Structure 1
């Protein structure tokens, strides 16, 4: 025995056992020392224990793609940046709900058809930037989409379960299998996970975070939904996201049902969804409560980095600001002048700096200093950024706007013109406005309108307008002609915000279903951060049908409303 021990010591001396590779950290930041080209790629299925949404007698499975540094084969353990998308399989052909209504409130004709779209493989800068710095990246296909089993359920606990199962697997609490059925373990995982994504890909992280699942340390929802009711409804009114008039939760579910040969169980789920979402009353009910993460925010343990476009009328700013205000975990927020986009291509260097510091802080516990920086970055005009410790910023006060105009106004409802066409005074809208502002006024928060309606219509729409010629961001992007290339990775075109000179701009809008109310009406508009400049006017336009967003009742109703009260959270400067 002594001879064997002596031999082992001698061999260890001659052939020392190498320590497992580790991260390289300089300046409290992970460094890009791992090869992207030599990364390990795996295609797996993760079992979603306890969930059988397609009723086939077997637990659902989500398809997962893993990329990790080659050194994880030698003992390196890494944190994970995870995305989950319902769009990997593209989109199936769907028909929107009809939005033109007859005198009885019944739909006229058929809704607009969407031919669907082809699937695409995940391709993002998350791999290019973070894998060389010692992160694994995991892409998940949501239940019922692409090569995953199960059925789409749109925003509820079942949808969250698919992503939660992957986090459990990364922590040794769930099972995964290779394509040929062999068990697969994430022995390389530290168990710490951050989720990130844009649009629906950014909504699922919000959903998963409310479960408080162990191992989910941080989420970065970009243009993500925090309340599906507020996405498809507003104060009892059925509304549509910009560009998708007639869409609702059931249509979204049908669009992402891209798994081959979907079972009958999926059709039953989508049919039940069509009834439960209730397009007749537009009321908040159990269906929407199950998809309201703001109400479930107390369950969030992960830190949250919220990103939102102030000109995004698809996922409107209230999805970010109300989520932000409900959160009690560590948080940070960017509000930019773009629309529905990832800020990487607009403010590249600063975005990558902050995102890198954020992930290093929460996934590797490095003292990056990101928590001591201002919590909020707001772009008040293209390229003009301001920071604050909170949002709304300190010093914000509720201010009653002094509006000039008639004590009562009458207009005739219509459904052929857009809100933009109604901003000018005409028979189809009522308008009040302030005097020219003596100083700048920064709106930061949620505007609120109160008025009386002697002869109401089924809907009231309020449009907050900045009147005054100016060059403003439209929300769209235009290419700079430059790109940003990652060493060993991809190149990404860079953009700037498109601007346009105009005499006015709709800053915010809000909708109200008046059918169950009488007399005085009070409702909130979409939260906003906007600078009304000295010499401009603050205008409020009241109309009924908002062609691009609301249901369209028969034209011709004569509506009479009293002079409104407009309260704006903000500060003068």
Structure 2
């Protein structure tokens, strides 16, 4: 079943500290041939009982076992503020990150040293009501910031978000009035990992909750804030309790594993890119690897799926939940200017938020998890991050599932990963197949690597249609026909799905393969090379990869976008001269997909994408030279396999 769409911007899948209690995962596992860390057998009947001397974790089948108490009353919880070597709010003092430690009592009474499972989030304190940017305007048109596009004090129209904000406000009022205890940041991960001997740390990202500093939507200060927790756990940073007394982390081994979903998964990528010592493993789930690719695509202003009009400033406003609501105001206004929604160009602003720049510093073992149908944090983030780690020989594994945003690997997969890299148990996880992919029938299939090494770039040619009907998608260059220019009339009000389904339309061009006689699997990144001209100096270009079933019903498999003014570089806008043909290369979002027998592979080209791009008034016309345009698909078995499946 596809995962439910999150209801907050770049939403995480953990529980809010002011929301409902975290779900408990079942902890029961087989304990055959269990051993302690020192290699001696441990009597299971005494699991969780007090010991006269140090007690160690127990491992079986390469996984840490739940032999410690699962009773929260037996755990130690402490609250700290960790000093960060940055002053992002400009108050003359170093920022501090608010964090909460949950650890076993044995770390105090029996000399146990625990590794740490750590999650940091800007969402634990809820969020502010926000309104996204208006997207119904002409391309490359300047919008005056702060005038109608962002309602900082108004009501949200999302009932789920309203409920969350009301709960947060109630908790804040109770704490301020002294009528109740300070709320716990989060209890996620505790039920899974404390009984297995780990400690758990939750921290609030700068500018949110009880941390100070400012939110910057992926800025360097947020990376340093999250990194400071790892430094403290390794004795390199100072932390203080609510009374101002210094607190030391003498109870930990210093080995840290970060995990989280969405923004909470992005911060592990950011911290790992610093190369900080002690961070041994990360599990980024639906995580961003470059913020430019979250809010832009090949020069085009492109929204995260479900959040049309959101941008870096809006997200910063949403998570700005610290008590001082004025100190970061000028910084957020600067984000609105520097993000540049006019040209969509890559700039120093986005370069600061590009973790790919520092992927060479990563030494932590990385288990990437991503939904193949995640249109919030799109699959390019996982693919480019994973590919760079693979090239550099960093320990790596990828889990791809059929859902959307979110979706963690199973507890067993996580346990083997953290047991190997945090406890140091030689369980052979590094020798496992690197890719675990959930197929269309929901079965899990292991592959040696991803993209599948058996995939090969397969170039297809476009044969023009007639009177707005679909043309051909063929391996045979001779079947493209005589040189033909086909035209798209832009109409941003038309949805991509409707255009893909339409038998004829002036607002799209469609090209279909022959009917497949057997399954054809795609694994990797589809690419297009188009020869196009325009009758206006600005236009959107959207491409869809489509699976047409036996009835002609379209399923959009993946899509991509580009701005023709960025045809030479995503960092530079080059004007388009109407009537002049240009070469335009664009990538679609990576995917792993099987086209079934009886189906047809399709490419659909349109201009503006109602759900993702800026939506100008109808009227622009785009002209495609079909004889000089190609589509390249990464297919298992390459051209030979496709030819056999289409009887070409």
Please give the range of the TM-score, normalised by the shorter of the 2 chains: 0.7 to 0.9
1:364 aligns with 2:423: yes
1:77 aligns with 2:158: no
1:455 aligns with 2:534: yes
Residue in structure 1 matching 2:487, options 396, 405, 410: 410
Cα deviation, residue 533, structure 1 = 1.6
Residue in structure 1 matching 2:265, options 202, 206, 209: 202
Deviations 1:406-444 (CA, angstroms, capped at 9, x unpaired): 432223211212211211231211111111123321111
SS at match of 2:598: coil
Residue in structure 1 matching 2:444, options 356, 375, 385: 385
Equivalent runs, 1:162-561 vs 2, <5 Å: 162-264=225-327, 266-327=328-389, 328=392, 329-343=394-408, 351-406=410-465, 407-423=484-500, 424=502, 425-455=504-534, 457-469=538-550, 503-515=553-565, 516=574, 519-561=582-624
Cα deviation, residue 27, structure 1 = 4.2
Cα deviation, residue 28, structure 1 = 3.9
SS at match of 1:426: coil
Q: Output the CA distance in 2 between the equivalents of 1:212 and 1:304.
A: 13
Contact 1:460 1:543 in 2 (8 A): yes
Which structure has greater strand proportion? 1
TM-score norm. by structure 1 comes to 0.87
TM-score norm. by structure 2 comes to 0.77
Matched residue, 1:152: 215
Contact 2:491 2:608 in 1 (8 A): yes
Deviations 1:487-533 (CA, angstroms, capped at 9, x unpaired): xxxxxxxxxxxxxxx92210111111013355121111111111112
Residue in structure 1 matching 2:132, options 96, 104, 115: 96
Contact 2:124 2:186 in 1 (8 A): no
SS at match of 1:461: strand
Contact 1:469 1:504 in 2 (8 A): no
Q: Output the CA distance in 1 between the equivalents of 2:88 and 2:459.
A: 51
SS at match of 1:45: strand
Contact 1:400 1:565 in 2 (8 A): yes
Q: Output the CA distance in 1 between the equivalents of 2:408 and 2:63.
A: 21
Residue in structure 2 matching 1:55, options 90, 102, 111: 90
SS at match of 1:146: coil
Cα deviation, residue 458, structure 1 = 1.4
Structure 2 unaligned spans of 5+: 1-50, 169-182, 466-483, 566-573, 642-648
Cα deviation, residue 101, structure 1 = 0.9
Contact 1:28 1:368 in 2 (8 A): yes
Q: Output the CA distance in 2 between the equivalents of 1:131 and 1:342.
A: 22
Cα deviation, residue 271, structure 1 = 1.5
Cα deviation, residue 24, structure 1 = 2.5
Cα deviation, residue 383, structure 1 = 1.4
Contact 2:491 2:619 in 1 (8 A): yes
Q: Output the CA distance in 2 between the equivalents of 1:277 and 1:195.
A: 28
SS at match of 1:421: helix
Cα deviation, residue 257, structure 1 = 0.3
Contact 2:128 2:320 in 1 (8 A): yes
Q: Output the CA distance in 2 between the equivalents of 1:465 and 1:61.
A: 49
Cα deviation, residue 111, structure 1 = 4.0
RMSD, aligned α-carbons: 2.0
Deviations 1:437-459 (CA, angstroms, capped at 9, x unpaired): 23321111111111222326511
Contact 2:304 2:377 in 1 (8 A): yes
Contact 2:256 2:279 in 1 (8 A): yes
Cα deviation, residue 106, structure 1 = 4.4
Structure 1 unaligned spans of 5+: 1-16, 345-350, 471-501
